[in-house]
Amino acid sequence: MPKKTNSWLNDAMTAPKQIAVVIIPTYNEAENIGRLTDELCTKTFPSINDWQMKLLIVDGKSPDGTAEVVKKKKDHYVCLHLLEEKQRNGLGAAYLEGFKYAMNILQADVVIEFDGDFQHPPETIGELLEKINGGYDYVVGSRNIPGGSEIERGLFRHLLTSFGGFLARFILFFPSSKFWQVTDATTGLKATRVQGFVNELNLNSEHLKSKKFGYKVQLLSETLALNARYAEIPLQFQNRAAGMSKFEMSTIGEILMACMRTRLQTL
């Protein structure tokens, strides 16, 4: 008689890993992207054992040679992919293009939104995926829960972002329970399950209320409307390692306008 085996165990051991794609839009990040790519591909990704990790850089025609830096790194890292936009259309539009590429070309099961300037600590990627493994569909990094913070921010900037974040939550969600559940509506660190969530979103950039930073609040609202199981992890938001910040005073108004347009759409 043939020897019995635990076929379910063998199948589990040989089953392909799920794919998580870290998406980083870039514009003039030549000073940061090479070092960040090295950090992710040689330290962060190898430490995540239960996922197949891929890195997708979406470059908006950076005049400083960001794409050329990435192309050179591609010779060393098979996990690294580059998508070059035909023209710079803003952060939100870049992420939507990245989502589509990650799903259609890289076969992503989860997409992760991540900054290209070290403001998001690389170790948070593993923390996001631990929550996904725990059954959540949508996990974000929050500066406003225990363990979260903004590093070395001036008082004015801290008060501005804190008040702006509260107002964004109020406009988007009050008086629903999501107002209390979501503590950081403007965070840019997120992991989202593709099946049933990202693949259900309208990924046409013309659908965005803002193609810049305001995309964050719209996708937050629309993903939660799909009944995504939501969780937060602490985010210790860092100062950028090098280069010029993309934040402007007008960014606050742009995000709040996107909040109002998004809320009106849901009414």
Q: Tens digit of pLDDT for each residue in 175-217?
A: 999 999 999 999 999 999 999 999 999 999 999 998 888 999 9
Length of the chain: 267
Output the CA torsion sign for 209, 211, 212, 215. Answer: positive
**For residue 167, what pLDDT is reported?**
92
- Higher per-residue confidence, 83 vs 88: 83
As a whole number of angstroms, the distance between CA 202 and CA 223 comes to 10
In 50-170, beta strands by DSSP E: 51-59, 80-84, 110-113, 138-142, 149-150
- CA dist 116 and 55 (Å) reads 11
Report d(CA 218, CA 205) in Å as an integer: 12
Among 116, 92, 105, residue whose Cα is nearest residue 203:
92
The H or E element containing residue 217 is helix 215-224
Which token pair is 106? 């890289």
pLDDT digits (tens, 9 = 90+) for 121-158: 999 999 999 999 999 999 999 999 999 988 766 666 66
Cα separation values, 86 from 58, 59, 93, 106, 168, Å: 11, 9, 12, 20, 32
User: Spelled out in words, what is the top-level CATH class assigned to the domain 15-266?
Assistant: alpha beta
- pLDDT for 239 equals 67
Domain positions in the chain: 15-266
What is the token pair recorded at 81? 């992919």
Joined tokens for residue 28: 């003039």
Query: Binning pLDDT at 50, 70 and 90, where does residue 27 land?
Result: very high
Q: What pTM was computed for the model?
A: 0.90
The DSSP H or E segment spanning 104 is helix 91-104
